[in-house]
Every structure is written in C-alpha cells, then in structure tokens.
C-alpha cells in the first residue's frame, strides 16, 4: 500500500537563506548550521518565539570573547616574545576592542544577518555597534565549537592580520580608551565620564586596583589594573564595548 506524499511546501526559517551567504563571506561552512544560527540570534528574537524557544547568542559571546583573547595573546607573544606583560596586554586590548570587532562585523555585513525582534528592528538594531560586536564574538565561538581550535586560529589570523601588523609596541597612543570614551560620550551629548577607585588589594609591590566609570551619575563599567590609571583605562575599554546600548537605556530613563 502506497502512502500519500506530503506535498506541503517546506518554508525555511527566517535567516536561513542569508546564512549560506554569510558562510561564503567567512570562507567557512558549518557542519552544524544551528551553531551559526544561534550566533546571529539576539535575545530579543528568542523572547518572542513560542516554546521551545531557540537559543540566543549571549553564552556564545562569552565564549567567543575568551577564545579571541587566548588566540590574540598567543599570537602577540609569538610576534613580540621580549615585550612586557603590560605592553602585550595593551596591544591585545587594542586588537580586540569593541570598535575593531564592530568594523569586522560590518565587513561581513553581520548586522544584516541578525535575528531581532520588531522593537530592535525599529530602533536600528542591525546597525548598533554593540550588537554587531557581540555577534562577532558569538560567531567566533560558533566556529570554534564547530571546527575546533585550529580552525578558529586560522580564522582569527585571516581576520586580524592587518590589525596585528598595524600595532606598534613602542607607540601605544592608540590604546587610550579614556580619551576615546570621552569623545564618544560628548558626541552623543553626554558630559565627561567620571572615574572612582572602588578598592585596592594586595601588597604594595603587587597592588591591584578596581575602578568604575560613570556618566551623569550612571554606572557604565568597571575594570582592574596594576595602577589606578591602568584600572581607569580598562574600565573605559569595557564601557566602549556596549556603549551604544548603555546610552540608549540612559536616554530612555531620562525621558
């Protein structure tokens, strides 16, 4: 007895067709395409889906940040084996800064592939620097989980080759995140940021400071360092990573 053929057309989920284009741009085809889909899925999209809801990319972003720092750290140590820890840390911070990640995301039109809810769409979520940078880190994590550390390393070295080549351990002015943060805030109509030391710990010769940065009385980020200035710079760098999203929330709270 022949069974009837189900002729119901198969409708691809949102973003499926575009993700193959993204793979072509990346030069990598996923064995598990669900990892790629998760990497471009924003929490706002997940929250509007029926159960069982798809996974969003925040955990992948967390992993991608760690994988990127490891691979860049290894690369810098290989390239500059005689430089100090402080210099290598500043070079790494410059290489993996939020503006750099956002530029790479734009290069791959990553914002066009994001799965967002209608609210994020209306407020220009696809062009928000924070969402693009976060998705880029999630994308790297997806590549690592799908292909392993060697594949992730090859990808990072292709993506960051010109960035690493452009770093100069004897000229670290490009890592002045405090200036960059102040300029970004003032461009958006906010006052200059303020820095406060939250605590210091350890013996005098190994003192570690933790500082926070605020704007108009609102917390932006915190960071730690071996000096107060270093802690300020790390706090400013951390604030830059999600600055656009933070400022949108502050403006909404003020209105």
- Annotated catalytic sites, by residue? 65, 137
Tokens of 252: 């909404």
- The DSSP secondary-structure symbol of 169 reads T
Identify whether the C-beta of residue 236 lies closer than 8 Å to the C-beta of residue 216. no
Alpha-carbon distance of 39 to 42, in angstroms, equals 8
Residue 26, token pair as written in the block: 């990346």
The 10 Å Cβ neighbour count of residue 187 is 8
Nearest to 172 by CA among 68, 66, 78, 80: 80
> In what order do the strands lie in the sheet containing 208-215?
194-201, 208-215, 218-225
Measure Cα distances from 61 to 10, 91, 118, 133, 134 in Å: 31, 21, 22, 9, 6
Give the span between the Cα atoms of 135 and 124, in whole angstroms. 15
Greatest distance between any 2 Cα atoms in the chain: 85
């Amino acid at each position: 007895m022949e069974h009837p053929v189900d002729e119901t057309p198969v409708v691809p989920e949102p973003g499926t067709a575009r993700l193959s284009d993204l793979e072509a741009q990346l030069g990598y085809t996923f064995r598990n395409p669900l990892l790629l889909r998760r990497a471009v899925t924003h929490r706002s999209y997940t929250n509007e889906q029926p159960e069982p809801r798809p996974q969003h990319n925040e955990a992948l972003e967390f992993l991608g940040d760690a994988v990127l720092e490891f691979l860049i750290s290894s690369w810098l140590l290989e390239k500059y084996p005689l430089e100090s820890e402080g210099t290598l840390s500043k070079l790494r911070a410059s290489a993996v800064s939020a503006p750099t990640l956002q530029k790479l995301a734009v290069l791959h039109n990553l914002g066009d592939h994001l799965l967002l809810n209608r609210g994020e769409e209306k407020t220009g979520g696809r062009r928000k620097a924070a969402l693009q940078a976060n998705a880029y880190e999630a994308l790297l994590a997806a590549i690592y989980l799908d292909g392993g550390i060697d594949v992730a390393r090859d990808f990072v070295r292709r993506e960051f080759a010109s960035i690493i080549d452009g770093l100069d351990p004897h000229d670290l002015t490009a890592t002045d995140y405090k200036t960059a943060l102040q300029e970004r805030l003032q461009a958006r109509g906010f006052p200059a940021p303020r820095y406060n030391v939250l605590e210091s710990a350890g013996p005098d010769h190994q003192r570690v400071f933790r500082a926070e940065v605020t704007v108009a009385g609102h917390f932006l980020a915190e960071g730690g360092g071996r000096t107060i200035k270093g802690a300020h710079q790390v706090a400013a760098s951390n604030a830059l990573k999600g600055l656009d999203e933070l400022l949108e929330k502050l403006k909404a709270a003020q209105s």
